[in-house]
Structures are given as structure tokens and as C-alpha cells.
Structure 1
């Protein structure tokens, strides 16, 4: 490398591809550029020519390798960025989908509970008037009425409340407060919403008590859970 300085060799390496491209372009019939471009190409060609013939291929190869490496790095960075963006988008979409599914499930559960409560209310309204009127009723008869009006999976909870409130005595009266009947309604006149015969017909009281538990707590078992914790409902 005695014909050029170290600095000249570096410049030659950096411009080797451009110089070669210029030479090839001219050889293939490319349109000539202005005088300044022609002079720059000539200068680059001179620099490439100044490198010993045995090293020119190495210089060109090194330059091409650098360009390829730079392009590969840029491509990797772009691919990584795209992948991260896709992952963020997928995570957001998954979160939205899960939220929507949870909201839909909650809505459906609420609708089922409401339908069940309404069905229980309709059942009570229908069954309360289907019993023959008597002048008096035994505990066993009152319990038999309740079993026909209350859902099977709710009856024990219903029964627990009646046991604690009145021991199934539909005439039970609290002397101090005036609470009355199977459910110790206060004031006693609340039973009237279920029927005018509430004072003498336990079926009417059962209808009222079941409606009360369903509307206030959702079911007799939920009412019993509250009663167990507070000793009132």
C-alpha cells in the first residue's frame, strides 16, 4: 500500500461501491451526469484504482458486508417493534373480550335469578288460593301448604325462619310490638297485600312471607342466612 496513505485507503474503502457503480453505469450506457458528478466519479474511480488490484475485491466485499449488516440490524429492530406492537394489541383485545364476557355472564345470572324469583312469586300467588278454607289449621296442615308453595330446595330455610318467628302458629301475636302471624309481620296489616283473609288463612300468610323473602333477599335461603347473622330479617 505504498501508493496511498492510510487515510486514502480508508476513503477508498468507503467509496468503493459507489465508484464501482459509477463505472458500471457508464459502461452500460447510463445517461451522463453534469460535470461535477463526472469529476466526483472520476475521483472515486481514481481512488479505487490506486488500491492494489489484489485488494480491491476485499475492499468491495467489506463494504457490501457492512451494508448488509446494517440492513439486517434495521430489519431486526423493525421486526421486534412490530412484534411488540402486535402483542400489546392482542393483550388489549383479550382484556376487552374477557371484560365483555364477564359482564354478559353477570347479566345472564341476574336475569336467571330474577326469572326464578318471579316464578316463585307466581307459584305462590297461584297456590295460595288452591287450598280449601277451614276454621282452623294444624301445624302439619300449615307445613303441608308451605311445602306446596315453596321450592323444594328452599323449604328448609323457609321452615327455619317460621320455626324461630312463630313455631308455625298463624295466630302468634307479640304482645309488646303487635307483630303477628307465621312471619311476625309488623305492622300486621302488611299481610293484606297477599289477601284479605290474612288473619284466618295461613296460606295467605305463607304467600306474603315467601314474596317478602324473595323480594327483599332473593330467596328464603338468603333470608335465612341474614336471619342467622342478625336474628331478624
Structure 2
């Protein structure tokens, strides 16, 4: 830029000198007319040269700036393309993971179907803790069609043993963990199967709505 302004200054000075020379020509006389014409032509050539250099420098600067702008735009396009490619890869991985989870869930649901076996006509078909459990279940508003699911669930958990103790700390027929949770029903939770059954049915109703819902979840996951 300093070179550009230097040539612009030279151009201005040349124009000024030319103006002075032309003004002085009126006072030199005819004997210097030829000399004045030569000086005028010389100054005109210098002005043209300065103008040419000025325009050439301006064009060079413009070309450099244009090249820089094109390079910056190209780099921006490269970054945008890389970001789009990365986002597409992440989206593809997320879709694949979701599809895999869906496939696993559908497979588990296909393997674990709700109970569709025979339905007892009466709780009298059972004995011991099962008969107590069937009667309490009916009393709590569940249909007898839910008892086969409850029977399978608690057979898996404790074999209906109200003193069953798991190393994890789970206790009783519903395998409450810890067993002291069942004290919310009665203090005799350690020895009374009815207390344990009432607590277990309340837990099932709160989390799975029905014994068959709890049984299906147990089939899918191995726990309820």
C-alpha cells in the first residue's frame, strides 16, 4: 500500500508540475515554445506511466484479496462438509442402535407371552400359601384369571415359602428386598404369609397393574 500511495503522490506531483509549466509558458516567449512542448510531452508521459502503475497495483491488490476470499470460502466449505459427514455418521449409529434395541425387545416379547393356560374355577383348587394367595388376590379386586400368572411368578421367586431368604437380602413369598418393607402392612411380616402376600400384591398393582403384567416383565428380564 505504501508503494501505491507513493506512486499516487508522484502522479499528483507530475500533474502539478505540468500545470506550472503550462502557466509559465505564457511568459517565456516564442523562442521557448518548442522547449515547452517537449516538457509538456515528457510530463504527460510521466503522468501516464504513474497512472498505469497505480492501476496495475490496484489490480494486483484486488487479485490477492479475491484469492484470499476464495481460499477462505473453500476452507469454510470443507469444514461444513466434514461437520455434515460427522453428523450423518452419528445419526446412522443412533438409528442402528435404536433398531438393535427394538429387535431385541421384539424378540423378548415374542419369547415371553402372557399366560394363556387353563384358568382355575375356584381358589379351592389350591392349598397352603397358594390358596391364601388366591383368596387375597380376589379380595383385592383381581380376577381369578390372574392367579396362574401370580402362581408362576412367586413359584419362581420363592416357591411360596414365606421364610425364603435370598443372599441378596430378599425375603418371603414376594421376595421383598429388604424384607422389612413388608412391615408397612403388619409387624408380623417375617412369619405371616398373608402379610407378605398383601404387600406383594400391592407392589405388583403399583408397578405392573396386574399379576400377569408382573409375570410378563419377569419373563423378559428375569426379575420384577
Larger Cα Rg: Structure 1 or Structure 2? 2
- Per the TM superposition, whether the score is higher than 0.5 is no
Q: Return the TM-score normalized by structure 1.
A: 0.38
